[in-house]
Each structure stands twice: as C-alpha cells, then as structure tokens.
Amino acid sequence: MKTLTLSALLCAMMALTRAAALPDAEDEPGTEGTAVQDTEAGNWTDSFTPGESHTDKRSVSCPSGWTAFNDRCFLYVPRSTSWAVAERNCMSMGGHLASVHNIQEYHQIQTLISSATHYQGLTWIGGSDGQQEYYWFWSDGTSFDFSQWCPGEPNNYLGHQNCAVVNHSDQKCWDDVWCDWQLPSVCVRNG
C-alpha cells in the first residue's frame, strides 16, 4: 500500500513540475491557451492560463486551452513548423490540422489567430493536394466541401505548392504554398 501511495505522489509531483516548467511559454506574447513544445522531450503540451474560459458551454466540452465551435474544438499553435510537423503535432493532441466546412468556421479560426497574435498572419490548416495535384482533401478525412481560395488560387506556382494556408493577402483568403514553409497552425478535434 505504501508503494502505491509513493508511486502516486511521485507521478503527481512529476506532472506538476513539468506543467510549471513549460519552456518558452512566457517568452512569447500571446501564447496563453496555446500548445507549446517541450524541447527536451520533443512533446507538445497544452498551456492554459487559469481563469481563462475557452469553451462554449452551448456546444461541446473541450480540453483546457481549446476553443469550442460547431461541436468541435480548435487550438491555435504559435510554433512555426512545416505542414507535416504541424499535422503530427495536432495528431499528438488527439486532432488534426483544422478542416474548414463553412464561412462561420473560417471566421472563428481567423478570430482565434487574431486573439492569440493580434494579427492575422499566414497559418496552416489541414488542406493538401500532395497526393494528386488539384485534388484537395482535409487531413482529418472529412469532406473538402468548402473553400475560401484567393482569386487565381490554388495555382501550384512553380510546382509543389501542396499545402493550404489561411489569411493570405489583404483579402485574408486561402493560398496553396510549399509545405516546408515554417508557419504557425490551427488544430481541430472532436469535442
């Protein structure tokens, strides 16, 4: 019995120590309620500022730091990575890069980005045509039934532009870009 109690206490202490020592979380403005990477372990963790409420009580219950909208949970990830690394990070948190199914979801994603950064910069979403040019799909497997492409996009400029970003140009529409660009991202998961 003493061994079980000691093991439980040790696990609790390790969890509290790790949560208290999230690297870079205080160095980057606007990272409250966002995912940050533990560079030593290579793991991504949710960071949450006490007192913040990120869930819409009318829809779903989301993990701390995620925002509920349309029965799904969204999370802005400020770390700049390639599209593939961003997708893998979202998967490690039980989701995928965000799929967008209507204009309201797109505006919610833009609001999420703007709230975290005070700017609407280029950000990865889950759209890709990497398997076959001009056949776009969402990394979460949902139907690609909505898009907000900029005029003339997607255009695969100079070849191999296979990943979708939001907030392109002054029109804040979508563009296809090279997947190795280093950008922040938005994840989605079911509530």
Give CA–CA dist 182/83, Å, rounded.
Answer: 8
> Which residue spans within 60-147 are E strands per DSSP?
67-69, 72-81, 96-97, 123-128, 137-138
Mean pLDDT of 150-178: 92
Task: Work out whether strand 35-38 and strand 43-46 pair parallel, antiparallel, or are unpaired.
Answer: antiparallel
- The per-residue pLDDT for range 31-53, each reduced to its tens digit, is 334 444 433 334 344 433 333 33
Strand partners, 96: 188
Spans of all domains in the chain: 2-190
Q: Does the structure show a pLDDT above 70 at 148?
A: yes
In the structure encoding, which two tokens stand for residue 164, read together?
Answer: 């979708």
Q: What is the mean pLDDT of residues 141-160?
A: 93
- Please provide residue 102's backbone torsions phi and psi, each rounded to the nearest 5 degrees: -165, 170
How many residues are there in the chain? Answer: 191
Q: In whole angstroms, what is the distance from residue 126 CA to residue 119 CA? A: 20
Task: Write out the CATH class of domain 2-190.
Answer: alpha beta
The per-residue pLDDT for 191 is 81
Largest CA distance in the chain: 68
- Asked whether residue 99 carries a pLDDT value surpassing 90, the answer given is yes
So what's the pLDDT on residue 23? 35
* Chain segment 109-127, per-residue pLDDT in tens: 999 999 999 888 999 999 9
CA 118 from chain center: how many Å? Answer: 16
Q: What is the mean pLDDT of residues 50-79?
A: 76
